[in-house]
Structure 1
Amino acid sequence: MKLKICGMKYPENILEVASLLPDYMGFIFWEKSARYFEDSIPDLPKSIKKVGVFVNASQDEILEKIAKYDLQAVQLHGQESVAFCLDLKDEMDRKIEIIKVFSVDEAFNFEVLKPFEAVCDYFLFDTKGKLPGGNGTTFDWKVLENYPSSKPFFLSGGIGINEMEDVNEISKTNLPLYAIDVNSKFEIEPGLKNIQLCTDAIYRVSSNKDK
């Protein structure tokens, strides 16, 4: 199981978090977000994949951000269609990962995932709420028992230190849980990560890998 720390904003804090070597770091390019990123990304260890988070952005905007920030992955958090994902994959370097986000509640229909399986590298399941993401609450993870696919996925939505043990239990099942995505529960304020909490998260994920 890998770890993505999302909603990075401040260069000095980015470097502090990067020193912990998470697998992914996320930068939000949605202007309505309190974690909207418009600075420069400092040089990061090559093992860390930089993820651009977009909400219904145009293909041109996404490609521009990929080039400007040397992104290794894009996270599509809006109502992007299968055709949009396919066109984007054709336009960008095939080595760049597409993570397609779905907002989940107890009534979520997993059948909507099928058309996307061929056009994205990972799914990400977040809690359905007022905002496209960052609502700070978990959904009932029991619904994942209905997951019909072998496509690896990220788990997101209100995950804090107190939820890490439950996440580890999911990782022991047959579900293809690839990574967890943490954000607001590891912050001092929006965009500013608590290094001690992030260190704890890295330790817990690493311990899980070793089991």
Structure 2
Amino acid sequence: MGRVEAKICGLKEPQHVLDALTHGAAFVGFVTFPNSPRHILPSDARPLAALAMGGAQTVSVLVDPDDALIEQVLTDLAPDFLQLQGGESPERCAHLRARGVGIIRAIGVAEPADLEKVKPYAGCVDYFLFDAKAPKKANRPGGLGQPFDWDILQGYRAEVPWFLSGGLSPDNVAEAVARTGARLVDVSSGVERAPGLKDSGRIKRFLDALPAH
């Protein structure tokens, strides 16, 4: 038996990175996407990522990044993983992974058929992240704080490990894990007191609420 592992995402303050590390987060994430209230430049995220060295894996969250932004991220932040939230193709994922950085591919889920989207990516990513599919008029593809129907993932098995994301909080993460069998979870808005503003107490409560599997 092990404990479900968590990624605390959208971090912008040193204290909240330290909170995540102190209470056992396995991953910490930094969002570089101007439409997000959690946006941070790779150069500004670098000292935050340095706090996590040896304690948690670092993740740069991007949406359809061009080559210039990729270079900036790899040079300024040097994360362990790129989390790709846009329309990135399997070929793009494979190309980036060949640069020596891990790849987390986000997949929007609203119905069981959406799980079929993983198949073309199976050989070119390290993790999938299942998030609620964004509404058509949304100005960003994730981080909207809404869950999807967790029963869609009940009994789901895959060769590639996966994160459960979307609307998780200290109050529902244990139920979400029980219903999906997730061994990895991702949270951002669920540990905030306002959009983009993390809360130390909620980070602790979330990580303390993680069940064994």
Could you say which TM-score interval applies, normalised by the shorter chain?
A: 0.7 to 0.9
Which of 84, 89, 102 matches 2:97? 89
Equivalent in the alignment of 2:51: 44
Give structure 1 stretches of 5+ with no counterpart.
none
- Shift of residue 112 of structure 1? 2.0
* 2:31–2:38 contact (8 Å) kept in structure 1: yes
Equivalent in the alignment of 2:67: 59
Equivalent in the alignment of 2:160: 151
Aligned residues between the structures: 201
1:5-54 deviation digits (Å, cap 9, x = unpaired): 00111234333433333111110011111110122433324121110000
**Alpha-carbon distance between aligned partners in 1 of 2:65 and 2:183, rounded to the nearest angstrom:** 25
1:111-169 deviation digits (Å, cap 9, x = unpaired): 22111000001110000122300111100011113745232100000101221221231
**Alpha-carbon distance between aligned partners in 1 of 2:59 and 2:178, rounded to the nearest angstrom:** 26
* 2:154–2:179 contact (8 Å) kept in structure 1: no
Question: What amino acid is aligned across from residue 197 of structure 1 in structure 2?
Answer: R
**Alpha-carbon distance between aligned partners in 2 of 1:58 and 1:139, rounded to the nearest angstrom:** 29
* 2:177–2:183 contact (8 Å) kept in structure 1: no
Question: What amino acid is aligned across from residue 190 of structure 1 in structure 2?
Answer: P
1:63-107 deviation digits (Å, cap 9, x = unpaired): 3212211211110000000110111112x11xx321000111025
Match of 1:50, SS?
strand
- Deviating beyond 4 angstroms after TM superposition, the runs of 4 or more aligned structure 1 residues are none
Equivalent in the alignment of 1:161: 170
Which of 103, 107, 121 matches 1:102? 107
Correspondence 1:8 to 2:11: yes
Specify whether residues 6 and 179 from structure 1 end up closer, same or farther in structure 2 by C-alpha distance, changes over 3 A only: same
Correspondence 1:115 to 2:120: yes
Specify whether residues 192 and 106 from structure 1 end up closer, same or farther in structure 2 by C-alpha distance, changes over 3 A only: same
**How large is the Cα RMSD of the aligned pairs?**
1.9
Correspondence 1:202 to 2:207: yes
Equivalent in the alignment of 2:33: 30
Question: What amino acid is aligned across from residue 158 of structure 1 in structure 2?
Answer: G
Question: What amino acid is aligned across from residue 80 of structure 1 in structure 2?
Answer: E
Specify whether residues 14 and 47 from structure 1 end up closer, same or farther in structure 2 by C-alpha distance, changes over 3 A only: closer
**TM-score normalised by the chain length of structure 1:** 0.87
- Shift of residue 188 of structure 1? 1.7
Which of 83, 86, 92 matches 1:78? 86
Give structure 2 stretches of 5+ with no counterpart.
none
Equivalent in the alignment of 1:178: 183
